[in-house]
Chain A
């Protein structure tokens, strides 16, 4: 997992050790963390991203707006539809069209399912890096229930390419409503079991509570987003603060925790899964009838547009410039993990090296999404 980079005396005369965590993925994700330690205490931490940079922003300029959809989803395939939604909203704003109400509901439905699958995937990784193999198996198994629902709705398990300019590609299938209600209720019951076996587990609470503290002021100052910000007590959620699609008509809470430690950030995500389950049930019950797709041209009119959505890892924003052709002139794409890169160092510094996995994985930093 680690390799020693250097071992030299620090300014105070004490011997410090600089080690490199990563970039081979075994605890760091596909990135490198350069950590300087004094004894067991981390005194300096600097992330070294870029190992999975694929230059997607340039690729977007070379393909037309429909061909861009599968590429837009690739940075975070477990949270594909949220990224896609941000992009499509920017395109629609430039084209001056709006999707029909039924499509807006269907978009929200897939977004919430993606949020659940993304958080469950995070939970399984978080569990396994804390040495809790049960918490690796259970969330990945239960994630299948929602992935199957996504498959039923879109035809694909992860990269859906479901949201297109003018609406969505498929209507709600037969029997989806009952299935969605049944499965989300089951998932909520399972979350109670997760609490018993993991979140109330004294070993886990001892390792997570008070570890990786990030104060409210610091989180705001560094521009943290998503559950990492809400774990520090800031109730900022794009779905509430700048409602889009069908979210203004839906009733849900923004899940915040005040403590700002690893435990709070984890619990903010678990609360979000519960809220998403409620949202899915609301959507399938409230969904209006009507068309689900409207004709949209394959053209990006001249102009600029900016859109943002709440993805599973925080605010995802797209800034699009069109020059009248079928390809974007420029597409700036900022994801939640990219913004959360700023909080990696403050969360790790001052803690023990043994607490590094807890603090690090509680941020849910996804290197592929950040490097793009």
Chain B
């Protein structure tokens, strides 16, 4: 190896060291979920929020849904959408096509459940406003299991 080549090799090794050391002070890209949670901005297409007073039960949301995850269910004299989040792909075409602006996107994105039937969201459950940013972690919105032993601020137990 020539002298020039040797110098370059040593310099290259130091470039790698420098680069590695510099990344010690680099901001981490990952979060320690569930203690730390991703804060998504308003406009994120998370779970739906249903305004019961505006909804007319016309069924356009169920018609446009690409995954057929919406069922229109009766509540007294009125009809409301019910979501099955096991199928929802969060395209929010239902929100776009709602003529009465009864549906809204929320920033709530962790909807994991232990059982399949818990993924069915009734109109009443959809009508609840999403949890605030400062809430402590619960496994899902109102699951009485696992990490949800930490009480959520302002949460009411489900009857």
Chain B residues lying within 8 Å of A152, measured Cβ to Cβ, are 41, 43
Interface residues of B in 68-124 (CB under 8 A from A): 89-93, 96, 105
**Contact in complex: A155, B45 (CB < 8 Å):** yes
Within 8 A of B (CB), among A68-82: 68-71
| A200 to chain B: closest residue by CB | B12
Do A156 and B93 touch (CB < 8 A)?
no
**Residues of chain A within 8 A of B131, CB atoms compared:** none
Other-chain contact of A151, B44, B93, B105 (Cβ < 8 Å): B44
Instruction: Check if B41 sits within 8 Å of A66, measured CB to CB.
Output: no
Could you give, for residues 33-74 of chain B, a 1 whenever the CB lies within 8 Å of some chain A CB and a 0 otherwise? 000000011011100000000000000000011110000000
Q: Is B25 an interface residue (CB 8 A)?
A: no
Q: Does A173 lie within 8 Å of B43, measured CB to CB?
A: yes
Residues of B with C-beta under 8 A to A197: 15-16, 19
**Which of chain A's residues 155-183 have a Cβ closer than 8 Å to chain B?**
155-156, 159, 161, 169-170, 173
Residue A295 at the chain B interface, CB threshold 8 Å: no
Q: Are B66 and A67 in contact (CB under 8 A)?
A: yes
How many residue pairs, one in A and one in B, have C-beta atoms under 8 Å apart?
Answer: 50
- Find the B residue at minimum CB distance from A202: B12
Q: Are A63 and B40 in contact (CB under 8 A)?
A: no
Nearest residue (CB) in A for B92 is A155
Inter-chain contact B41/A71, CB cutoff 8 Å: no
Bound-state CA distance A169–B66 (Å) is 16
Which residues of the partner chain B approach A154 to less than 8 Å between Cβ atoms? Answer: 45
Contact B90 A141 (CB under 8 A): no
Partner of A155, one of B29, B64, B89, B105: B105
Residue of B nearest to A173 (CB): B43
**Whole-angstrom CA separation of A67 from B64 in the bound complex:** 7
* Cα of A71 to Cα of B91 in the assembled complex, Å: 11
Whether A156 lies near B90 (C-beta < 8 A) is yes
Measured between beta carbons, the chain B residues less than 8 angstroms from A161 are: 91-93
In the complex the two chains form, is B29's CB within 8 Å of A141's CB?
yes
- The chain A residue with its CB closest to the CB of B16 is A197
Closest to B43 in A: A155
Q: What residue in chain A is nearest B97 (Cβ atoms)?
A: A66
Among A70, A156, A201, contact of B66 (Cβ-Cβ < 8 Å)? A70
Q: List 15 A-B contacts (CB under 8 A).
A: A66-B64, A67-B65, A69-B93, A71-B66, A141-B29, A151-B40, A151-B41, A152-B41, A154-B45, A155-B44, A156-B44, A156-B90, A159-B89, A173-B43, A197-B16
Apart from the given pairs A70-B91, A71-B66, 9 other A-B contacts in the complex at a CB distance below 8 Å: A66-B93, A151-B40, A155-B43, A155-B45, A156-B90, A169-B96, A196-B15, A196-B19, A197-B15
Query: Lowest 9 CB-CB distances: which A-B pairs, in order?
Result: A155-B45, A67-B66, A141-B29, A161-B91, A70-B66, A70-B91, A156-B45, A70-B89, A155-B43
